[in-house]
Amino acid sequence: MIPQDHPRYRSLVVRERLAEAARDGVVSLEGLTSHGRGEAFDYLIGEVTMPSARTAERTAAAMIRAARHPVISVNGNTAALAADEIAALQQASHAQVEVNLFHRTEERMKKITALLLEHDVDVLTGTAERLIPLSHDRAWSLNEGIGSADLVLVPLEDGDRCEALIAMGKQVITVDLNPLSRTARTATLTIVDEVTRALPAVTAALSDLTDDEAAGLIRHLDNHYLLQTAISEIATRLIHALD
């Protein structure tokens, strides 16, 4: 049992949850290392939503609302950390949810689909095809899902798949605590925030954005500027960290 008065209680609980999900075969061992990288950046960020991320979250809501066919692409870490948050976002939008894995086995696909269904996510199922121009297993996706999507929300994405989706002409929104990653720099829009903070913020924005604000956010979207601002916010915090 993790003592509730431990100063890193929440972080330890999340680690325990991911370790359990790894033992269950939902999260891959590689996924645990990705989480570690994310945690390190979140420590630098201060485990809060930065102002630049708040803007990115509202812009994401505007883009999802404007999309013809938005799809949320879910991997093992996202399912283990944020199944309820995905369900809420799906209910607030017209987005479909597709499971897409880097370390893809039929068994993991089934386990993650079952976990999402338990949390009331309406998950797409069907026969996957090699639709994304990549050599590894992440090429597999559903024609009626990511294959025909105009916008894909991919939390915790890998850089080369993000590039491949962009090359297919899709808009890509990612959630990535590392503003320097290839994914962050390649996506149409990057939310530099922890996934369980980011998804509820996008869901909340979907219901309070006016049409005017939404149009303005889309018109002024500049991901390079948002990333630069996120880096400045982190740097300012670091300079004063020991004050």
Q: Confirm or deny that 178 is annotated as ligand binding.
A: yes
- The torsion angle over the Cα atoms of residues 101, 107, 112 and 116, rounded to 10 degrees, is 140
Alpha helices of the chain — where are they, by DSSP H? 9-23, 29-45, 51-66, 76-92, 106-118, 159-167, 182-186, 195-208, 211-219, 223-239
45 binds ligand ATP (CB under 6 A): no
Q: Which is nearer to ligand ATP, 87 or 214 (by Cβ)? A: 87
69 binds ligand ATP (CB under 6 A): no
Position with the least CB separation from ligand ATP:
38
Q: Is there a contact between 126 and 139 (Cβ–Cβ < 8 Å)?
A: no
Q: Confirm or deny that 104 is annotated as ligand binding.
A: no
For helices 211-219 and 51-66, what crossing angle results, to 10°?
A: 110
For residue 172 the two structure tokens come to: 């890509």
Applying CB under 6 A, which of residues 27, 41, 172, 229 lies at the interface with ligand ATP?
Answer: 41
In the shown chain, the binding pattern of residues 127 to 166 toward ligand ATP, with x for contact by CB under 6 A and - for none, equals: -----------------------------x-xx-------
Applying CB under 6 A, which of residues 22, 27, 34, 49 lies at the interface with ligand ATP?
Answer: 34
In the shown chain, the binding pattern of residues 192 to 221 toward ligand ATP, with x for contact by CB under 6 A and - for none, equals: --xx--------------------------
For residue 110 the two structure tokens come to: 């089934």
Output the DSSP codes for 175-192.
E-S-TTSHHHHHSSEEE-
Applying CB under 5 A, which of residues 57, 85, 158, 163 lies at the interface with Mg ion?
Answer: 158
Applying CB under 6 A, which of residues 96, 113, 183, 229 lies at the interface with ligand ATP?
Answer: 183
